[in-house]
Amino acid sequence: MESVNLSQLIKAKANELGFDLCGIAEAKKLHDAEAALVKWCNEGLHDKMNYLIRDPNKRSDPRILFPEAKSVVVTGLNYFTRNRQKNANAPLISMYALGKDYHDVMDRKLNELLDYIKSVVPEAEGRACCDNAPVMEKSWAVEAGIGWMGKNSIVINKNIGSFFFIGILLLNIELDYDKPLRDRCGNCNACINSCPTGAINCDKTIDAGKCIANLTINLKSELPEHIIPLMGRRVYSCDTCQEVCPWNKNAKEHTTPEFIISDKLANMDKEDWLNLDENLFFKLFSESPVGRVKFDRFKKNIVMIYENAKSK
């Protein structure tokens, strides 16, 4: 089968499976992405995420992870929703973590797409990746033309904005390849100016040591004293830089049932949150990305934001 026709079939199947975006790039080493990663880590902007500096050569070349790789299929799955926490004083949980864990949802869809490709091309082999392998998903999303890198270092698509998960299939077959898109951020600095902690640099990088998204999820020690007053109601990640982005102004509601917030979580008020125990935490978040954070850390974040509110 011609690579053009097969590529079209793959994109059509991706759409049928619920993916909102699909682009394809040639598997190769991303020299510029590797250099940017090394520079960022050498400047200490990766905070405590030391795993990111291990073997940058492997991160930038998918053929090391999957030696047979010839093509990189990049998918995007919208998670934007207006159906969020209803109480005006509730601790804020990032939009991407309101429903079930996206890793599970994306892995299932990616493997269904891989099964389909194998049914069309029996000799096809591949590997699915979604934040579970040393693959530079955002750089590949840009390479495959499904968006450009925003100034907040998040990939933006002109049609659906930036509230989408990125999933990747490494394949051992040649396909028809898409081209990167031009940067459309222009002179807009809304994300940089709106960051509560000034974590967004002017070169499309983030100072993770200042970033609320990183600190509320990955930090093992106590939160820095100067960050605490800037957290607002955020207890798990942060959506501010995306919420102010003009490309998200007309973001459409996602259509993935697994990402819908539960009624219990949506309706919790201040008293419910302050009385949260480990049992309820498990019930609410055992299938959510939030469950990756230990209960004690999460509860500390809750108490902290209400203490912040009192002091203002």
Please give the structure tokens belonging to residue 75: 């998918």
Please give the structure tokens belonging to residue 66: 């999957």
Q: Choose among 210, 244, 245, 214: nearest CA to 230.
A: 210
- H or E element, residue 141: helix 137-143
Using DSSP, state whether 225 is helix, strand or coil: coil
- DSSP codes of every residue in 119-135: HHSTT--EEEESSSSS-
Pairing of strands 71-78, 164-171: antiparallel
Q: Which residue among 131, 178, 263, 277 is the active-site one?
A: 131
Q: What b-and-e string marks burial along 232-268, b requiring 16 or more CB atoms within 10 Å of the CB?
A: ebbbbbbbbbbebbebbeebeebebeebebeeebeeb
- Our answer to whether residue 55 is catalytic in this structure is no
Q: Contact at 8 Å (CB) between 79 and 243? A: no
CA 272 to chain centre: 28
Which residues lie across from 93 on neighbouring strands?
236
Which residues lie across from 166 on neighbouring strands?
76
Within 8 A by CB and 6+ apart from 170, the residues are 27, 62, 65, 66, 69, 71, 72, 126, 127, 129, 135
Matching residue, tokens 């008020």: 269
Catalytic site residues? 131
